[in-house]
Structure 1
Amino acid sequence: MPPYVPVNVAPTLRTAETKDVPRIAAVIISAMDFSPHWTSRYPYRKQFPDVHRHQTEERIADYVKKSKDGICVALVSEVEIEVEVEVEPNAPTTENLLLKGGAKDKRRKEKQHIKEIVGVAIAQLPGTFVEPMTRVIKRTVSEGKEGEEKGKDTAQQNAPSPPFRADGHLERAKAFGAEFGPAKKRYFDVPYGNNQLYIDFMAVDPSYHRRGIATQLMEWMLELAKREADAKAVTLFSSPMGMGLYKKVGFEEVGCVTVKLDGDW
């Protein structure tokens, strides 16, 4: 049983803040345990939980920063829960004021109602999709500067690569990149380009599955797209477990991406 009691499970939505990053990462990590996409890329997440948490928090922190820059939107869903907290012995309570003659204060537990993040959705906004940096360089710099930039690129390519994250699988990461990059370009970027709202993350704490939280998050994203003048489509990649939800709120399947290594079923 979780160390809290839901008080009001009707979720409320708000934009994410920097202080929310650890909790958002915890929600994503617990939710993605059910996603073959995630478990395949990070098969050693249980052996290296600190690495897994740190890497996830860094990624979410970057999204939250970009949301403040108007590049993406990061939305969290909260419910009210009841928790027990320890109150300091010398806190000015009626009980403490009645203590007499050298009686020692005792720590006591007190029930409090707080808001807990149980779901998150993150999307890149229309109008923020940029061309690859190599193409931008070729278009905007002089010949001499371009050669200088190419030299930097070559030096960077020849530099030793940092060690791959301990919770991940390098070959699977490469395989996912090789499949998902071209698929995103084919199904989303070529048809819609800057006129898409691309949903990168949608996750709900497993303790709160089947309570309408994911549906509410997705419906809010669809409403946001309607208000964005440049948005002609809302796009995302779904794991098998999410297909039912996405079709329920109006998405249609346009393609399928399968990633396999030798020896996989």
Structure 2
Amino acid sequence: MRSYSMTPPMPTSTIATPPLPGRSQITLKIVTQRNANPKLTNRLLEIATTAFSDDQTFSWRYPTRHEYPAHHRHMFWRYLGNELLDPTVWVVVAYLEDNGVEVPVGYSTWQRRGPGTEEAVKGRDSLLQKSERNLFALHERLNNFLFPNPSAYKPAIELMAQVFEETENLVKQMPQFENHLHLNILAVDPAYQRRGIGEALVRWGVSKSTKEGLPCALEASRAGKKVYTKCGFEEIQICDGLHPTPEKPWQEGMHCREEGCQFGVGSFMIFEPPSLHLQ
């Protein structure tokens, strides 16, 4: 596993969240390819692989992932590496202080989507970054060809990809969602859960959404639904690509033939800032 460090560190955007009663103050920082370093990216990969260790959808798509930890870790590296280089994505890292040292304890990635995106984020991109992005994509295509993930169950992966495509198409059809923010990933180190970290990372997106007058969308697991609802998100559709329905009969890759089975079922949720309702 190679670590990610492209250029010397640059100043980091920092947001300190007010501490909740009985909890330490959480500091949020925006990380890009300019201020990432091997120690930080390795820590974020550790957080993601640990946080999703027992995730139902990952267990179905990658049933033998624990037998191939390097491949499983590299999958999260591919997500993170792409997003650090993508000017449409904000990688937000949460820190807590431990014995006087700031420790990364969780992160989220928020992506701006829609036809107005390129103009809105062009100040975050550069010719060098575009070149790095192209090289990274080439490297990953070659890596996936030479070293495919042996734990991958492709029919299930393809079904989940269809679910994400369907929800993205649903967003495009919704009024005022032509341009929006999308939460790609939210991961909190299990050792630091129940301290308001996930909520702080979600509220970063809500704050940006409100400031820019953009709605937000995300796919939530059943476990994560509570924190999103607390932050103002509303469920508008069930996300289920792993079980048959009258409209979608059984096919290879589904979890079981029982309609209504709750394994891996999630929610498609949205947040609309108050300013949208005044237009």
- Taking only the aligned residue pairs, the percentage that are identical comes to 22
Higher relative contact order (CA 8 A, sep 6+): 1
Give the structure 2 partner of residue 93 of structure 1.
Answer: none
CA contact (8 A) 2:117 2:179 kept: no
Which string of whole-angstrom CA distances, capped at 9 and with x for unpartnered residues, describes residues 139-169 of structure 1? xxxxxxxxxxxxxxxxxxxxxx936422321
Counterpart of 1:242 (choices 224, 234, 240) is 224
Q: 3-state DSSP class of the match of 1:18?
A: coil
Alignment of structure 1 residues 53-72 onto 2, 5 Å: 53-66=73-86, 69=87, 71-72=88-89
Give the structure 2 partner of residue 74 of structure 1.
Answer: 91
TM-score, length-normalised on structure 2? 0.63
CA contact (8 A) 1:129 1:193 kept: no
Q: 3-state DSSP class of the match of 1:121?
A: strand
Question: Which consecutive residues of structure 2, in runs of 5 or more, have no partner in the other structure?
Answer: 1-22, 120-143, 243-252, 259-279
How far has the Cα of 1:55 moved from its partner?
2.2
Paired AA for residue 124 in structure 1 = Q
CA contact (8 A) 2:95 2:102 kept: yes
How far has the Cα of 1:29 moved from its partner?
1.2
Which string of whole-angstrom CA distances, capped at 9 and with x for unpartnered residues, describes residues 104-126 of structure 1? xxxxxxxxx43211110101125
TM-score, length-normalised on structure 1? 0.66
Q: Name the CA distance, whole Å, in 1 between partners of 2:198 and 2:220.
A: 13
Give the structure 2 partner of residue 128 of structure 1.
Answer: 117
Counterpart of 1:167 (choices 147, 151, 156) is 151
How far has the Cα of 1:190 moved from its partner?
2.2
Q: Name the CA distance, whole Å, in 2 between partners of 1:166 and 1:246.
A: 34
Paired AA for residue 37 in structure 1 = T
2:173 is aligned with 1:190: yes
CA contact (8 A) 1:79 1:116 kept: yes
Q: 1:247 to 1:34 in 2, by over 3 A?
A: farther
Paired AA for residue 103 in structure 2 = E
CA contact (8 A) 1:27 1:119 kept: yes
| Higher-Rg member (1/2) | 1
Q: Name the CA distance, whole Å, in 2 between partners of 1:48 and 1:129.
A: 38
Q: Name the CA distance, whole Å, in 1 between partners of 2:160 and 2:205.
A: 26
Give the structure 1 partner of residue 65 of structure 2.
Answer: 45
Q: Name the CA distance, whole Å, in 2 between partners of 1:207 and 1:183.
A: 32
Q: 1:178 to 1:220 in 2, by over 3 A?
A: closer
Tell me the number of residue pairs that the alignment of Structure 1 and Structure 2 aligns. Answer: 192
How far has the Cα of 1:27 moved from its partner?
0.8
How far has the Cα of 1:28 moved from its partner?
1.2
CA contact (8 A) 1:121 1:202 kept: yes
Q: Name the CA distance, whole Å, in 2 between partners of 1:48 and 1:11.
A: 34
How far has the Cα of 1:174 moved from its partner?
1.1
Q: Name the CA distance, whole Å, in 1 between partners of 2:226 and 2:26.
A: 21
Q: 1:242 to 1:262 in 2, by over 3 A?
A: closer
Which string of whole-angstrom CA distances, capped at 9 and with x for unpartnered residues, describes residues 80-106 of structure 1? 224xxxxxxxxxxxxxxxxxxxxxxxx
